[in-house]
Structure 1
Amino acid sequence: MLIFRLLSVITFVFLNSCTDSSVKPSAAEKSVAPVKTAQAKEKTQQKELKTSIDPDVLFTLLTAEIAGQRGQYDIALEGYMEAAKRTHEPKFAERAAMIAMYMKNSNKTNEAVALWLHQDPQSQAARKIAALLALRAGNKKVATEQLNALLVADPAGFENALLELASVLQKEGRINAVYDSLDALSLLHPDQAVIYFMQSLFAMQRKDINSAEMKIQQALKIQPGWDKALIFQAQIAVFSGDLSKAKSLLKDASLKYPANNKINKTLAQVLIKSENYEEAIEVYKKIISTEPNDLESQFAMGLIYLQLNQDDQAEDIFKKLLELPEWQYQSMFYLGKIEEKHGHMKKALVWFDKVADGPFVFDASISAIALLEKDKQLNEASLRLTLLQAKFPKQKLRLLLVQAELFNQQKQYEKAFNLLTKALAEFPDQKELLYTRALMAERVNKPDVVEADLKKILATDPDNVEALNALGYTLLSKSSRYGEAEKYLQHALKLAPNEAVVIDSYGWLQFKLGNNEKALGYLQQAYDKQQEHEITAHLAEVLWALDRKDEAKKLFNKAIKDAPDDEYLLDFQQRILNGKR
């Protein structure tokens, strides 16, 4: 999107025809582009030009247009500058400025913009370009003058004007110039809260949290009830990792301005982020009581009910939203998720297949394939995956992972490994590919690849819990590396103390170290959180080792009924119950 909204196009009609020409911007120059001349009605335009433009000027413009079409931009630039000077028509100066910017000729751009402003002092577009040029050149005095003119002429539009300038300058690494010019501008307008608000915004962009906090406080001192500033102050706290402060700020603001649902919605989002789901629901109920047609808040509340396993309430909300075209497909997707959660695979599949449009089409299709995989309908899953690959070529990476999982379900581990290896040649540092190939490498007995892939993830993301847990667990296969395994698993447990699979891995480490009672405590905790089959097998084995064999058998018998083909349970049965090692 162009940063400057250019003025209306200029049309020239020569002889009995009209031309549609433009100087086309390169990929490198995104901030501005020359104005296109538009098609017009020949007879009326011919008459207007004959009466309003001198023949010599008309010839100059014709020369400039033809030069522009041929890529002779220096000639085109001089032509438009000459026409602007002779006619005092600011649109010609504007055209010259656009061409000069495209040519990256700063001197000519400055000259053209100065002429443009002289002929049209009220032009906001010219002011923006003048400010941009001054900021680029580091001319703080001129930049401040131009920003001051923008603020005085259009206080309401000043914020957007600054954002437009910043979007260009940030890409060029000059965002500090805007911040410094606003410091000078604040001396001229100490009572303008928007100046401090924008400085806070720019400070956050350069990750200067202290300055951002100081500037937002200055803005709120001038304009205490400004909801945008109040919300941004809370967002600074969230960015700093202080969710408690963010909640406190927003709760105070909500008490002061109870009818302001922008503040209330932000509070609800922070409560969700901090896992205060019940409180978030109460906030959304308050919002909906004042705005019954706020469907976005209703939908958000439905998602929270799902998180809280209050599926009936969630289902009621999504079924009501089904009646509204703009919400029906999202609702169908989550109704499918509810049915899947309750093990109603056929009903879930029906819902997923109904999602025919909107942003959830791909996710619904993937969920349907996952259901078919789980139900061992692997041929149907493969067919759907092939169709999906043709329909969503931009989702190549995610579909590769789905294909690898399909091969895994079919126990075609070598195929999955080769597929992922080929994909990593194209996406060498992609974490999900590395992690998934590590899992497949374990299946095809390539321990060196397992370790290398997981360590590559941790080299750039040392707090990746999945990789830490997988690497630590993998190293437990060698007694000589229990010390290394413990280092990785302790780190994972510190980062994710409530994650069942991490607790399980750490418990299994304790069992390997001979700390059976300690192992039992961790494994029971993991099992209570998630009755996953591998966790069950681990817990049963530790119970057996503690001579609590009846409990181990009871646990095993319950699990094997639900999953008679599970490899972990069958391994426990063969090694421990049948005594075959």
Structure 2
Amino acid sequence: MQFFRLPASLLAVILYLLPACTQQGAAPDPKETPQSRMAVSGGGEIAARPFPIDTFYTLLVAEVAGNREHYDVALLNYYRQAAQTRDPGVAARATRIARFLNARRMALRSAQLWAELEPENAEAQLAATAELTLAGELDTALTHAEKALALGGDAPLQSLAATAVNNRTIAEKLLPEFRRMAQQYPDNNEAALAHAMMLRATEQYPQALAIVRQVQEQDPDLLDALLLETHLLVDQGERTEAVQLLEKLVSIYPRESRLRLQYARLLIREDLSLAKEQFAELVKLHPNDGNMILSLALIRYETGDLDAAKPLFERLLVLRQHESAAHFYLGSIAEDKNDASTAITHYRQVQPGNDYVEAISRGTRLLASAGELQHNRDWFTELRRRHPDQSEHFYLMEVQLLSKHEEYQQALKLADRALEKHSDSGRLLYVQALLNEQLGNVTAFERGMRQLLERDPDNATVLNALGYKLSEDEDRLDEALALISKALELRPDDASIIDSMGWIQYRLGNHSEAVKYLQDAMEKMPNHEIAAHLGEVLWVQGNRERAMEIWQQGLQINPQSKIIPAAMKRLQINESLEQHASES
């Protein structure tokens, strides 16, 4: 942004005040100041009026700051003087600087002041329209847009409409205003397309499409109309027609990125290979556009072309765009190639966002698999220090990771330590209880579950877990049945609770009832543990062929299951499942 040319009003003040400044520094009396007029670049004229000496120096400092690229100082001075002097030239200057610096609050207030001071200035009305649109004040923005149109300006009505289309209530409220403006300016394609956009937002697709095609008759090469037509075709379920139209348009306008991007996006669902070609063309057209590069990289990644995806993700790191996504997928590619060290390095550089937790999960899992437990502890300690509000979550992740690798004693110690800091955490208390159960400390397990039920008597998960554990004790079967029954009342379609009910019925000797529950649970959620239970009950009933089939099914679901072999051993079954499978 250049600051070399002073606004005409300020230049007039400088010309007026400079002689006075050579005197004894006293500010001239405004009453004694003659009115003058001076030419403004562009052919117009503007009335110059004097400013107090303090204002003059403040604006002069602003211009000097601008020339030295201290734009924040320039903006602050102009912004304050615009409000103080209410001079339209100063307000305009403040607006332009604020918009250049993307200082939205100052830009909004300056633009509104400028539009108020110069109601017949189309540029002022357009500036106010744009800033009010960005601020979401759409009603007021429309008022200024209409003033700009009346003054012969080209109001950004499509941008205004685009802000409203994602909110059905707002779209319905503003639709009559857009319709009225489209009728008032029948030759204005901007107004017509904005009206069509609002009709689309309220799902009046045929009416919107009719307007778009009418605009195309007036201007066949208007890309906004062509793009909107493709969106409307998709809205009406005519995806094939939209794809065919875009294919034709891309061939006519090969360098129009908006058309090609819409075409590529539609092809993602229709033809991934062709979509990849289109994104490759887009990257050629925009070699430094991170969005295009990321889209092409993701398609290549999803189609398994990792070698082609990798340099694209690396390119994003060079451009410093979408760096977290690039690190995440480069980590995933390295992991796929069994390069754990490189994968961990990338995962550790993923920043908070969509892939953050997954990157941590993958990275710490790789470290645990390599036996690097101390590195994991250091990583989780760093995470808890960096994100104290997420401390409980990271404790849980670390505990669960240790449990997965059967480091139960260390996991329990960590859960104990975590509960010292998060004593109100029901999740940590639940995990601690499960670890105690895993380590054979049934008393501590039950104590933890009872504490949870004191806090939340209707917690079906806890009721089920405690009831299932108590079902192992012959003397507490009735107590177990009561707990599981209450859990089932609370969640009658939960397969894990239905499984528990089937198991307690079996423990009570009600085999037929047990089979009904267990078959229902297996249908709802095929699972190796449910298969172990159902197979055992069927075996005891004498339906051994079916029992073997169910166990085989369970092992297909989880070949590493320890529960099914344990059930067979308990029943002293010597027949191998492999032999049974081959005979079947």
Residues 167-187 of structure 1, C-alpha deviations (whole Å, 9 max, x = no match): 9x99xx987765443232122
Alignment of 1:347-386 (within 5 A): 347-354=339-346, 357=349, 363-373=358-368, 377-386=372-381
Alignment of 1:229-240 (within 5 A): 229-230=228-229, 232-233=231-232
Hey, what does 2:101 align to over in structure 1? Answer: none
How far off its partner does 1:158 sit?
3.7
**Are positions 1:254 and 2:252 aligned together?**
no
**Are positions 1:114 and 2:110 aligned together?**
no
Structure 1 contact 472–486 (Cα < 8 Å) conserved: no
Alignment of 1:217-236 (within 5 A): 217=209, 219-222=211-214, 226=225, 228-230=227-229, 232-233=231-232
How far off its partner does 1:369 sit?
0.5
Structure 2 contact 536–567 (Cα < 8 Å) conserved: yes
Aligned residue pairs total 453
Structure 2 contact 467–483 (Cα < 8 Å) conserved: yes
Alignment of 1:276-315 (within 5 A): 279-285=270-276, 287=278, 293=284, 295-305=293-303, 313-315=304-306
TM-score by length of 2: 0.55
How far off its partner does 1:367 sit?
1.2
Pick from 178, 195, 207 the counterpart of residue 182 of structure 1.
Answer: 178
**Are positions 1:547 and 2:544 aligned together?**
yes
Structure 2 contact 464–487 (Cα < 8 Å) conserved: yes
CA gap of 1:233–1:413, structure 2 versus 1, over 3 A, is: farther
Hey, what does 2:382 align to over in structure 1? Answer: 387
Residues 469-491 of structure 1, C-alpha deviations (whole Å, 9 max, x = no match): x5796597453466665576665
Residues 425-466 of structure 1, C-alpha deviations (whole Å, 9 max, x = no match): 6xxxxxxx876765556654444676799999xxxxxxxxxx
Hey, what does 1:33 align to over in structure 2? Answer: none
**Are positions 1:264 and 2:263 aligned together?**
yes
Inter-partner Cα distance in structure 1 for 2:53 and 2:520: 86
Question: Secondary structure of 2:265's partner?
Answer: helix
TM-score by length of 1: 0.55
What amino acid is the match of 1:128?
Answer: T
Structure 1 contact 268–283 (Cα < 8 Å) conserved: yes
Hey, what does 1:50 align to over in structure 2? Answer: 18
Question: Secondary structure of 2:118's partner?
Answer: helix
Structure 1 contact 186–195 (Cα < 8 Å) conserved: yes
Structure 1 contact 193–220 (Cα < 8 Å) conserved: no
Query: Over aligned residues, Cα RMSD in angstroms?
Result: 6.1
What amino acid is the match of 2:262?
Answer: I
Residues 8-64 of structure 1, C-alpha deviations (whole Å, 9 max, x = no match): 79989xxxxxxxxxxxxxxxxxxxxxxxx9xxxxxxx97796389995465526159
What percent identity do the matched residue pairs reach?
Answer: 12
Pick from 64, 69, 80 the counterpart of residue 85 of structure 2.
Answer: 80
What amino acid is the match of 1:333?
Answer: G
What amino acid is the match of 2:115?
Answer: V
CA gap of 1:328–1:138, structure 2 versus 1, over 3 A, is: closer
CA gap of 1:93–1:562, structure 2 versus 1, over 3 A, is: closer
Hey, what does 1:148 align to over in structure 2? Answer: 149
Structure 2 contact 182–188 (Cα < 8 Å) conserved: yes
How far off its partner does 1:371 sit?
2.8
Inter-partner Cα distance in structure 2 for 1:136 and 1:292: 36
Hey, what does 2:159 align to over in structure 1? Answer: 160
Pick from 466, 479, 482 the counterpart of residue 481 of structure 2.
Answer: 479
Query: Which runs of 5 or more residues in structure 1 are unaligned?
Result: 1-5, 13-36, 38-44, 238-244, 272-278, 306-312, 426-432, 457-466, 493-501
How far off its partner does 1:211 sit?
4.8
Alignment of 1:13-52 (within 5 A): 50=18
Structure 1 contact 420–437 (Cα < 8 Å) conserved: yes
What amino acid is the match of 2:228?
Answer: A
Structure 1 contact 389–396 (Cα < 8 Å) conserved: yes
Hey, what does 2:129 align to over in structure 1? Answer: 128
Structure 1 contact 476–482 (Cα < 8 Å) conserved: yes
What amino acid is the match of 1:329?
Answer: H
Structure 2 contact 82–91 (Cα < 8 Å) conserved: no
Structure 1 contact 438–451 (Cα < 8 Å) conserved: no
Inter-partner Cα distance in structure 1 for 2:282 and 2:232: 25
Structure 1 contact 378–406 (Cα < 8 Å) conserved: no
What amino acid is the match of 2:180?
Answer: A
CA gap of 1:518–1:380, structure 2 versus 1, over 3 A, is: same
Question: Secondary structure of 2:123's partner?
Answer: coil
CA gap of 1:479–1:11, structure 2 versus 1, over 3 A, is: farther
How far off its partner does 1:560 sit?
10
Inter-partner Cα distance in structure 2 for 1:373 and 1:324: 31
Alignment of 1:394-543 (within 5 A): 399-406=394-401, 408-409=403-404, 410-411=407-408, 412-413=411-412, 415-416=414-415, 419=418, 444-445=445-446, 446-447=448-449, 474=465, 477=468, 478-480=480-482, 514=513, 516=515, 519-520=518-519, 523=522, 526-527=525-526, 534=529, 537-538=532-533, 540-541=535-536
How far off its partner does 1:505 sit?
6.2
Inter-partner Cα distance in structure 2 for 1:125 and 1:191: 19
